Chain A
Amino acid sequence: MSSVAPVELPIPGGVAGRAPSLEEEYTEATTKVGRVKRNLTSKWATVAALLIALLWTIPTFGLFLSSFRPAVLIKTTGWWTIFSNPGLTLDNYRDVLFSSSVTAPQLGQYFVNSVAISIPATIFPLVLASMAAYAFAWMNWKGRDVVFVLVFALQIVPLQMALIPLLSFFSRGITIGNALIIPPTPSGTYAQLWFAHTAFALPLAIFLLYNFISQVPGEVIEAARVDGASHGQIFLRIIIPLAMPALASFAIFQFLWVWNDLLVALVFSGGSPDVAPLTQRLAELTGSRGQDWQRLTAAAFVSIIVPLIVFFSLQRYFVRGLLAGSTKG
């Protein structure tokens, strides 16, 4: 199936800003694609692409195959000798999926926690960052360039350095004198994790979304302003629909980061398995020291499944992509 849609972003008719449906794009695209197709790609390009794909897949594939091999075989023979050293087992997955520990919760609970942490921790920064990005792109205010640079630079604040102050904020609240301005956030709930992930994600989110939102043709916005639309209306009715592909793309990345996070989870899950995500459990199971190959292999694939499903189901948004609008406008 050939893909699709070199659609130029984004001048859908009129101020109301209706994004074309995917079908429309598709039919429109296939005709064009037919003409351009394969002109850019040569035989060598295909070979190179295959080579890269192979190189990028082999390490993971080796681990995947190993995850079905018994521990002894993993440690003594290469996975590529699987035919001369046969032996497949589901033991590794059983170890990881069904805890042999009577007291530790089963993996299912951690799985639910991961989902419960990731979804809000993806949506919150997305909304807040797109609002801020809009303000940077389409509102005129003094010092916005300076502030934008500051926000941009905040990306480099190391997470590790931010953990203690943030935890302190959660557990003690903010007091001025003796007056409690903001009360402590209850631990043992997801709230701390959501807050932390959102705050840490904002600089990059604002930066990336700004790059998209600022590319929206100025005429569209101006026309809406002349018609008397407020910023709120423009944001909701024009920017959000136009930015959908970018939002979806960023959502995928943010989801992946949150899903794979261990550091934030360790600190803000409040020491309770009630809210701890999958990564925390897998780290315990496999040992952060990496000695138990057999469990590690299986654990890696258990945790990778959801991100892959998310990627495949949202992949079509990448067609338009994070920065499809960044042709010079």
Chain B
Amino acid sequence: MRITRSKRVIIPLAGAAALALALTACTGDAPASSGGTAAAGCEDYSTYGTFTGSPTVNIYGTIVDVEADQLNQSWADFEKCTGITIKYEGSQEFETQINVRAQGGNPPDLAIFPQPGLLDSMIAGGYIKTPAKSVEDNVDANWSPDWKTYGTVDGTFYAAPLMASVKGYIWYSPAFFKDKGYTIPTTLDELTSLTAKIAADGTVKPWCAGFASGEASGWPGTDWVEDTVLRQSGSQVYDDWTTGAVKFTDPKITSAFDYVGNLLKNPAYVNAGFGDVTSVNSTTFQDAGLPILQDQCAMMHQASFYEAQWPEGTTVAPDGDVYGFLMPPAKAGGEQAVTGGGEMVGAFKTSDEITAVQTYLSSALWANNRVSIGGVISANKGLDPNNAKSPLAVDSIKILQDPNTTFRFDASDLMPAAVGSNSFWKGIVNWINGDDTQTVTTFIQSTWPQ
């Protein structure tokens, strides 16, 4: 702690010194960037302008702790060069609190929405302001049209994407696979047969799974089903499913449930170190993959962000301790289809400084700044994959930027909240606990708002 503390003393001192230099070097409202050491590197930020009177922009989001620090770090230069202070507040109660604050008339300036569904309901409530043209231009230039639609309602553009994640990775131990002579499956059927083979060999359980996540328990299971639907039935069915045109009780959806059920509801296939099938519900998703390191189970399905969950010292690489392969397509050589998630930035107020921040956050500059700090990826096309800190992140960025990839947003995030953030989760939990597919899909469908 001592180190941190002394740093904190030094930084303001240095800042004061720089300021003093700047003040003596130039007068009036000339930006501090015109003199002193602080000026270095500010050329990139000239488009955002400089602001006097140090205006503040409040941002509210779900990101907390270390990741919040990294976020703050990603705009530190921007703050220095433009004179805008960004005050970020993260809360894990964001999803409910943003409703309360918006309706109560005390919203933040900007909010980072973790799912389009929530953003849509805010837009429907008339709380979100349309951003300036500079933001839309950035999105047109840097993101695929798909991504733009997640922030667009009825043809009006409201919110720019921020970060992203690729779902549908299956984590495994490359060394263990090599050792046992297992190969990475290229079709869904091969995945099934690989599972059977691992189970037959009898040394380890093929699968680890953990769906517990507090009140959001069940969501890792919805990802499983969504990935399967997209691969089995294609993007059109997937899209119709998210809008309600294809029902949960439709054979195309129930067959996805059954496929996943074959893997996860078979006591011979799960759940190494945690117990029987029901332990999938009591194991947190954070813990679920860890037995892979002890060679207790072979595979675990989770998004790219699971990389952060591996204990310190774990090498995540194609030849390391663990790595992930994408859930395979239904047919060999089929289209590369992935699901994923991401954040959207919506504005509750308008002002020049808010526009400047919004524009910056949608720029390739920010994406590169943030990604090079590590831990996250973005679908921003201006992002240089080599800025990413790990092989998996590089891979994921390439997948997102590949024009041949069919990208679909996490379906539960697009469905109405009553389903996507409630009954779908609940249904999955009941399903793991023993209910059959028929019962569960009927239940979920019955909660779809009329």
Question: Do the two chains belong together in a single complex?
Answer: yes
Interchain CB contact (< 8 A) of A271 among B64, B72, B108: B108
The yes or no answer to A41 lying at the interface (CB within 8 A) is no
Q: What is the bound-complex CA distance between A187 and B108, given in angstroms?
A: 12
**Considering only CB atoms, which chain B residue lies closest to A192 in the complex?**
B106
Q: What is the bound-complex CA distance between A290 and B88, given in angstroms?
A: 23
**CB 8 Å contact bits of B321-340 with A (1 = contact, 0 = none):** 00000000000000000000
**Considering only CB atoms, which chain A residue lies closest to B87 in the complex?**
A272
- A43 CB to nearest B CB, Å: 42
* Main SS at interface, chain B: mixed
- Determine if A288 and B69 form an interchain contact, defined as CB atoms under 8 angstroms apart: no
- Determine if B103 and A102 form an interchain contact, defined as CB atoms under 8 angstroms apart: no
Interface residue stretch chosen among A83-91, A160-168, A252-260: A160-168
The yes or no answer to A285 lying at the interface (CB within 8 A) is yes
Which residues of chain B come closer than 8 Å to A102, judged between CB atoms? 4, 7-8, 69
**Considering only CB atoms, which chain B residue lies closest to A100 in the complex?**
B66
Q: What is the bound-complex CA distance between A39 and B340, given in angstroms?
A: 71
The yes or no answer to A35 lying at the interface (CB within 8 A) is no
Which of B76-118 touch A at CB < 8 Å?
87-93, 97, 100-101, 103-106, 108
Interface centre among B58, B89, B90, B216 (most CB of A within 10 A): B89
**Considering only CB atoms, which chain B residue lies closest to A283 in the complex?**
B92
Q: What is the bound-complex CA distance between A295 and B415, given in angstroms?
A: 34
- Determine if A187 and B106 form an interchain contact, defined as CB atoms under 8 angstroms apart: yes
Interface centre among B101, B108, B284 (most CB of A within 10 A): B101
Q: What is the bound-complex CA distance between A170 and B101, given in angstroms?
A: 11
Which residues of chain A come closer than 8 Å to B64, judged between CB atoms? 284
Q: How many residues of A contact B (CB 8 A)?
A: 33
- B128 CB to nearest A CB, Å: 17
Q: What is the bound-complex CA distance between A76 and B150, given in angstroms?
A: 43
Interface centre among A103, A165, A285 (most CB of B within 10 A): A103
The yes or no answer to B213 lying at the interface (CB within 8 A) is yes
Which residues of chain B come closer than 8 Å to A272, judged between CB atoms? 87, 89
Q: How many residues of B contact A (CB 8 A)?
A: 33
Which of A66-106 touch B at CB < 8 Å?
75, 94, 98, 100-104
Which residues of chain A come closer than 8 Å to B100, judged between CB atoms? 163-164, 167, 267
The yes or no answer to B286 lying at the interface (CB within 8 A) is yes
- Determine if A289 and B213 form an interchain contact, defined as CB atoms under 8 angstroms apart: yes
- A173 CB to nearest B CB, Å: 10
- B208 CB to nearest A CB, Å: 15
Which residues of chain A come closer than 8 Å to B124, judged between CB atoms? none
- Determine if A104 and B69 form an interchain contact, defined as CB atoms under 8 angstroms apart: yes
Which residues of chain B come closer than 8 Å to A284, judged between CB atoms? 64-65, 90-92
- Determine if B93 and A266 form an interchain contact, defined as CB atoms under 8 angstroms apart: yes
- A111 CB to nearest B CB, Å: 16
Interface centre among B92, B101, B106, B287 (most CB of A within 10 A): B106
Which residues of chain B come closer than 8 Å to A75, judged between CB atoms? 287
Q: What is the bound-complex CA distance between A271 and B90, given in angstroms?
A: 9
Q: What is the bound-complex CA distance between A94 and B4, given in angstroms?
A: 14
The yes or no answer to B28 lying at the interface (CB within 8 A) is no
Between A and B, 15 residue pairs with Cβ closer than 8 Å are A98-B1, A101-B65, A103-B72, A164-B103, A167-B100, A167-B104, A167-B106, A168-B104, A171-B105, A267-B100, A271-B89, A271-B101, A273-B89, A288-B92, A291-B284
List 4 tightest A-B contacts by C-beta distance, closest first: A167-B104, A289-B214, A171-B105, A171-B106
